[in-house]
Amino acid sequence: MLNAQDRAIVKSTVPLLESGGEALTTYFYKMMLEEYPEVRPLFNQAHQASGDQPRALANGVLMYARHIDELEQLGDLVAKIINKHVALQILPEHYPIVGSCLIRAIAEVLGRDIATDEVLQAWTHAYQQLADILIGAEGAIYNEKAEAVGGWRGAREFKLVKRVDESAEITSFYLQPADDGPILGFTAGQYIGLQLFIGGEEMRRNYSLSAVAGGNQYRISVKREPNGVVSNYLHDQLQIGDSLQLFTPSGEFTLTESQKPLVLISGGVGITPTLAMLETALETSRPVHFIHCARNGAVHAFRDWVDGLAGSHPQLKHFYCYAEDDGVSPAADAVGLLDQQQLEQWLPEDRDLDAYFLGPKGFMAVVKRQLKAAGVPEKQSRYEFFGPASVLE
């Protein structure tokens, strides 16, 4: 526990973090990634270039400073960080690197008039407190996953045993342990970490598990991103029998047990975690409304599979919305962007429901607003980002 003086000093820096937090974390990442090449592969460079990761860290640091007297308020944020760290295999030895760079960045960005010895000392103590919390929680999860049936520690070799094209842009990859042993169970909505070596360079990425684990295989479904390093490698290079390394499943965007009607809303490749959620929910009798938006029929993945499930599960209703009609694919239920009236028609009448949604950021901002306007309680409306978290406005 920090002493009262350190807490007061950290809180006094809140206004500086509100106005300059992003500049600080941008500077921090640039310095750290240049000076410590050993941590570079852990980070997705696209999230640095877009500014999403510096923004997410700036928000994390600001929230920590604001709530330094009431850390229990940070539960959701801390859970998100821990899950992301676990899926990318962040280890205790990485923390001193981040800590020293962060303190140097505070000194160099704010200047020594503001970042006095007292301020730097208070932030050093505060960083250590948070690092200890994260290291402890992450260590407990690593141990738990190593000891569980089918579990493991660190990277485990898997082989590609099957690949299926699901649309013009999305391909599924079925992965099985090279040792043929059992695999760790997971909760629908979770994702794995993938470690690859492409052109001699190490890369790590997260992919949602797009099917309930069958036997000893995991399935991920990957969209080919224009100029994306890993997605194009998987689509173009990875052949049956090839190896890749996996970190254990993780994630807090999970289907919770409930009897309320379930609404799953996805845009594009955001469909992946909702597939495992759909499969899981249909093991019970709860009503499920599955709403999927795609650019057009050619890029709409898993349509036949969802249609097939609806044939055998009367509790499932599905609705498809295409931004454009390509004139070739089977028709959608609506053409254009998802609007309020359309969504309201497709929701169950009873708005005391559980909604889960995922897709491009702009799409998620609209869905969040629309669900609220439709009367769905905000805390029953859950979402995740395929990248660092940001504010949906």
Ligand X SMILES: Cc1cc2nc3c(=O)[nH]c(=O)nc-3n(C[C@H](O)[C@H](O)[C@H](O)COP(=O)(O)OP(=O)(O)OC[C@H]3O[C@@H](n4cnc5c(N)ncnc54)[C@H](O)[C@@H]3O)c2cc1C
List interacting residues with ligand X (CB under 6 A). Answer: 44-46, 49, 191, 205-208, 220-223, 225-231, 269, 272, 386-387
Please choose, out of 123-131, 219-227, 261-269, 270-278, the segment that lies near ligand HEM by the rule CB under 6 A. 123-131
- Whose Cβ is closer to ligand X: residue 225's or residue 344's? 225
Residues in CB range of 341: below 8 A, 6 or more apart: none
Residues in CB range of 376: below 8 A, 6 or more apart: 263, 347, 351, 353, 355
Instruction: Fill in the amino acid letter for 98.
Output: V
Q: What is the CA radius of gyration of the chain?
A: 22
The Cα 120–Cα 106 span in angstroms is 8
User: Of ligand X, ligand HEM, none, which one does residue 82 interact with (CB within 5 to 8 Å by kind)?
Assistant: none
Q: Which residues from 330-389 bind ligand HEM, rule CB under 6 A?
A: 387-389
Residue 349, SS3? coil
**Which of 88, 211, 306, 367 contacts ligand HEM by CB under 6 A?**
88
Alpha-carbon torsion 363, 369, 370, 371, what sign?
positive
Helix (H) or strand (E) holding 140: helix 117-147
Contact code string over 52-71 relative to ligand HEM, x by CB under 6 A:
-x--xx--x-----------
User: Of ligand X, ligand HEM, none, which one does residue 255 interact with (CB within 5 to 8 Å by kind)?
Assistant: none
Please choose, out of 35-43, 107-115, 159-167, 270-278, the segment that lies near ligand HEM by the rule CB under 6 A. 35-43
Burial track 83-99 (b if 16+ CB lie within 10 A, e otherwise): bbbbbbbbeeebbeebb
Look up residue 153 and give its DSSP letter. Answer: S
CA angle 135, 50, 84 (to 5 degrees): 25
Strand-by-strand arrangement of the 262-267 sheet: 334-335, 316-322, 288-294, 262-267, 354-358, 381-383
142 is catalytic: no
Q: Which residues from 125-184 bind ligand HEM, rule CB under 6 A?
A: 127, 130-131, 134
Phi/psi at 275 (5° precision): -70, -45
Per annotation, catalytic residue among 27, 29, 127, 138:
138
- Whose Cβ is closer to ligand X: residue 169's or residue 354's? 169
Per annotation, catalytic residue among 27, 95, 356, 383:
95
- Whose Cβ is closer to ligand HEM: residue 22's or residue 279's? 22
According to DSSP, the residues that pair with 165 across neighbouring strands are 171
The Cα 360–Cα 263 span in angstroms is 18
User: Of ligand X, ligand HEM, none, which one does residue 80 interact with (CB within 5 to 8 Å by kind)?
Assistant: ligand HEM
Pairing status of strand 170-177 against strand 191-198: unpaired
22 is catalytic: no
User: Of ligand X, ligand HEM, none, which one does residue 53 interact with (CB within 5 to 8 Å by kind)?
Assistant: ligand HEM
Q: Does 80 bind ligand HEM (CB under 6 A)?
A: yes
- Considering only CA atoms, which of 136, 47, 65 is closest in space to residue 95? 136
- Whose Cβ is closer to ligand HEM: residue 100's or residue 280's? 100
CB of 99 to ligand HEM, least distance (A): 7
User: Of ligand X, ligand HEM, none, which one does residue 196 interact with (CB within 5 to 8 Å by kind)?
Assistant: none
The Cα 302–Cα 317 span in angstroms is 15
Binding site for ligand HEM (CB under 6 A): 39, 42-44, 47, 53, 56-57, 60, 80-81, 84-85, 88, 90, 94-95, 97-98, 127, 130-131, 134, 387-389
Could you give the residue numbers annotated as active site? 95, 138
